[in-house]
Each structure stands twice: as structure tokens, then as C-alpha cells.
Amino acid sequence: MIDQLWLVPLGFAAGVLGSMIGLGGGIIVVPILTFFGFSPTLAASNSLFAAFSNAVASTISYSRQKRIEYSLGVKLGLLTIPGTVLGAYVSSGVAPEIFKILFGFVLIASAIYIFVRKKIENTQVNFSKQMMVFAVGASFFAGIISAFFGIGGGIIFVPLMVAGMGMAMKKAAPTSQLILLFASFSGVVVHTILGHSDFLQAGLLSAGSFAGGLVGARLSVDIKERFLQIIVSVVIIAAAIKMFFDSLADNLYLINN
């Protein structure tokens, strides 16, 4: 157990960042676990435990700050569940080199989102029937990537609520954490049933992530947006580049052997 205690500070750092930007800490946890040789399925499964713990802590804090739209959050959260079941099952058969390159693209998309989130916030409200139909489809898709990659699905929900539904960013990120409660919990259940999880590792990550979620929700009130953008984006882009290189190395190894 002692040689795995580094998972606690990893969970804490990911929890702080994930809570502040509303994307969940999986975009930090999964790449690092993968770099240390964890299989894609194990990395995603363990990360979802941490994402659930982070979402619980963040939701508690944001609820006290009265920044959550409960009705919308519960509806979108429930809509993610079928997708998480499918995502967890699909993750069982993914090759590591394919997982890495796909996750690299997810990280790049996350970095782009972080830089354009202010522009998204200034878009017009479009709360039409078509948007609600799109929200149903987006929720299902978010559930798939949540369980498949272990990231929670916030990269889908925050832009959806801000650009599509006209919600202010200060409420979208907190509401996203409520949605992630449903997505991550259902993903955890399915991954556990399939035997993908290491409960010791997941527990250590979750402990750190819970504390990080409390801290991140508090810091989100005072943190400077530009500073957060730069720090998180640099980390994410570096992780994406490493993912692409690792995927290339894996493919070259397979070709030569």
C-alpha cells in the first residue's frame, strides 16, 4: 500500500482542477495512470471512482454556494446512465495504442474549450425544442465517453449548458458536477460488475479527489480565470502530446514484433 500513496496527492490535484473548471479530474488522472503503465480499462475505472468522489465533494460545496440548477442537472444526469453502461462495456476490448490516441484528442478538445469558454458564455440563448433533443443525444454520448475514458463527461455538458441553454458559467460548472454524480456513479457500478477496478488504488485516488473537490469549489470563487486557463491548458496539452507519442511507440513496437 505504501508504494501507492502517491495516488492520494494525484487525486487531490486532479480534484482541485476538475472542480474549478467543471470537467472532472479524469483529464489529469487518466493520462498519468497511463504513463505509469496502467491498462486503459484500469485507468478509466479507477479514475471514475475519483471522479465520483470529486463530484460528491464539489456538489456539497457548490450547493452551499447556491450555484447549482438542480432540475436540469438531475435530468441530464439520468440521461447519461445508458451511455455509461455502453461505454464501460466497450472499454473492455480497446487496445492501449487506440485508447491513447483517442484520449489525446479528448485532451486537445478540453484545452480548446478552456480557452474559448468566455466566448461561449457570451453566445445567445437557444433553449428550443431542437436544443432539448440535442441535449438528450449529447447526454447519451457524454455517458459513453465518461465510462470509456474515465473523465466524467463535463467537456460535453459545460459548453452545452452555456452555449446551448444560456446558463452563466458560474452555474454551469457547478451543475456539471451534479451531472457527473450520476455519470460517474453508474460508470463505477458497471466497471465494478465487469471486474475492472482495483479498489485500493481507487480508494486512494478518491480520498485525494474528495479533498481536492472541496478546495477547488472554494478556490473557484476567487481564482483568476486567465491564470487557471494557462496552468490547466499547459498540463493538458503536454499530456496529449505524450499520449500521441506513446501511441506511436506502441504501434511501432507491434509492427516490429
Question: Quick one: three-class SS letters along the chain?
Answer: CHHHCCHHHHHHHHHHHHHHHCCCCHHHHHHHHHHCCCCHHHHHHHHHHHHHHHHHHHHHHHHHCCCCCHHHHHHHHHHHHHHHHHHHHHHCCCCHHHHHHHHHHHHHHHHHHHHHHHHHHCCCCCCCHHHHHHHHHHHHHHHHHHHHHCCCCHHHHHHHHHHHCCCCHHHHHHHHHHHHHHHHHHHHHHHHHCCCCCHHHHHHHHHHHHHHHHHHHHHCCCCCHHHHHHHHHHHHHHHHHHHHHHHHHHHHHHHHC
- Cβ atoms of 13 and 239 within 8 Å: the answer is no
- Cβ atoms of 23 and 110 within 8 Å: the answer is yes
As for how many domains the chain has, the answer is: 1
256 CB-contact burial (10 Å; exposed 0-12 / middle 13-18 / buried 19+): exposed
Mean pLDDT of successive 10-residue stretches along the chain, which has 257 residues: 85 83 76 87 90 86 86 89 90 80 81 66 55 78 86 73 70 83 91 90 92 81 67 75 80 73
Query: Which residue type occupies 184?
Result: S
Query: Which residue type occupies 30?
Result: V
- Residues 145-175: tens digit of each pLDDT: 888 888 877 777 777 776 667 677 678 778 8
d(C-alpha 199, C-alpha 240), whole Å: 27
- Cβ atoms of 196 and 154 within 8 Å: the answer is no
d(C-alpha 102, C-alpha 208), whole Å: 27
Residues 6 or more apart from 215 whose CB is under 8 A from it?
12, 15, 16, 19
- Cβ atoms of 150 and 51 within 8 Å: the answer is yes
**Domain extent at residue 6:** 2-256
- pLDDT value of position 250: 74
- pLDDT value of position 149: 86
- pLDDT value of position 14: 86
- pLDDT value of position 242: 79
